[in-house]
Amino acid sequence: MDDLLTSPLHDRHLALGATLGAFGGWSMPLSYPGGTVAEHTAVREAVGVFDVSHLGKLAITGPGAADLVNRVFTADLGRIAPGQAQYTLCCTPGGGVVDDVIVYLVGPDEVLAVPNAANAAAVAEILRAEAPDGVTVTDRHRDLAVLAVQGPRVADVLPDVPELDYMAFADVDGIRVCRTGYTGERGYELLVPAGDAGPVWDRLVAAGAHPAGLAARDTLRTEMGYPLHGQDLSVDITPVQAGSGWAVGWDKAAFRGKDALVAEKAAGPVRRLRGLRATGRGVPRAGMDVLVDGTRVGVTTSGTFSPTLRCGIALALIDTAAGVGLEDTVAVDVRGRALECTVVKPPFVASHVR
């Protein structure tokens, strides 16, 4: 992994004995010696801290910066005010999802976009191609670290953070603090100057935040039914199919992919993302066939063991023509063995983000 980029916290992860993995061209911690289940449980019951510095950071600045973002991305940026963040999508003209993005609205002339690591360059290219004169898109990927502090005891380790509404942010002592996250627990994401990331991490861990890796982040987000780009959303999986239509400003005059998405919504998608909860012993994984009476009706897009529920769970794209409804029973082909599952509507466990 010598050719991978490393986080400003790489030395901390090595010192903690982290198992590292490649994510979007970065070497990032998968887990620490205590294991993924312990990290997951710490976030659900106390407080954990994740290094997610591999996430992209794009500064869009200049007269009309917010208008550019609103014209390109799906959500209606006019529905939030400066000091708020928004989940949105960058789509292809055909309605597929190039990436899902969090945008921070600083003002009409400044927006910070946080795409996924693997797609940051593609999102930047799309924005630059659409940008009017005077609006610049600057890659700040290496300038900022991102720490996600998540869990019901988050106030114990961040006692001086101002009270913020969900998806609101404030700049505190040079750190952008936003009440967002990818776990379903109350928490914050901290955008920290890269040179300050080490001392900030050390303070959080000393105050009781449990270091957690990206494997626990995946089990936590799957329990919430939060999509992962490249699996549950992609250039081949539209927001209409993935149940992410709530992140689309349908009444906006224009955004990339609008015509295709409006047409798909009107016609009805040929497949929909559903939750599956295993009733038998076994763990579904991504890419497994979903069966009804032996006939393939879909495919899992994400799957894992839920440490909270102590059973297998999955997200799956199921053909609408199959007529499969909530609480119906399907089977997942787990290496040739039929694992019975109940179709459910995520989240699989209660959310506490607000």
- DSSP per residue, 32-63: -TT-HHHHHHHHHHS-EEEE-TTS--EEEEST
Question: Which whole number is the average pLDDT over 32-45?
Answer: 98
Which residue in 294, 291, 216, 239 sits closest to 44, CA to CA? 216
Q: Tens digit of pLDDT for each residue in 260-300?
A: 999 999 999 999 999 999 999 999 999 999 999 999 999 99
Which residue in 170, 164, 156 sits closest to 45, CA to CA? 156
Question: Which whole number is the average pLDDT over 337-346?
Answer: 98
Question: Which whole number is the average pLDDT over 328-354?
Answer: 97
- H or E element in which residue 217 lies: helix 214-224
- Please state, for a pLDDT cut of 90, what percent of the chain lies above it: 99
Q: Tens digit of pLDDT for each residue in 137-158?
A: 999 999 999 999 999 999 999 9
Q: What is the pLDDT of residue 120?
A: 97
Q: Tens digit of pLDDT for each residue in 71-129?
A: 999 999 999 999 999 999 999 999 999 999 999 999 999 999 999 999 999 999 999 99
CA 278, CA 139: separation in Å to the nearest integer? Answer: 42
CA 108, CA 77: separation in Å to the nearest integer? Answer: 10
Question: Which whole number is the average pLDDT over 161-171?
Answer: 96
Q: Reply yes or no on whether the pLDDT at 2 is more than 80.
A: no
What letters, b where the CB count within 10 A reaches 16 and e where it falls short, cover 111-122? Answer: bbbbbbbbbbbb
Confidence of residue 259 (pLDDT cuts 50, 70, 90): very high
For the chain, domains (ranges, CATH) are 5-52+142-224 (3.30.1360.120), 58-139 (3.30.70.1400), 270-344 (2.40.30.110)
Helix axes 36-45, 214-224, angle to 10 degrees: 50
- For the CA atoms of 317, 323, 324, 327, the dihedral, rounded to the nearest 10 degrees, stands at 140
CB 313 within 8 A of CB 275: yes
Structure tokens at 244: 């992410």
Q: Tens digit of pLDDT for each residue in 194-251?
A: 999 999 999 999 999 999 999 999 999 999 999 999 999 999 999 999 999 999 999 9
Tell me the average pLDDT of the chain: 97
Which residue in 289, 297, 281 sits closest to 333, CA to CA? 289
CA 130, CA 76: separation in Å to the nearest integer? Answer: 17
Specify the 3-state DSSP secondary structure of 126: helix
189 in a labelled binding site? yes
Q: What is the pLDDT of residue 1?
A: 56
- For the CA atoms of 49, 114, 4, 28, the dihedral, rounded to the nearest 10 degrees, stands at 20
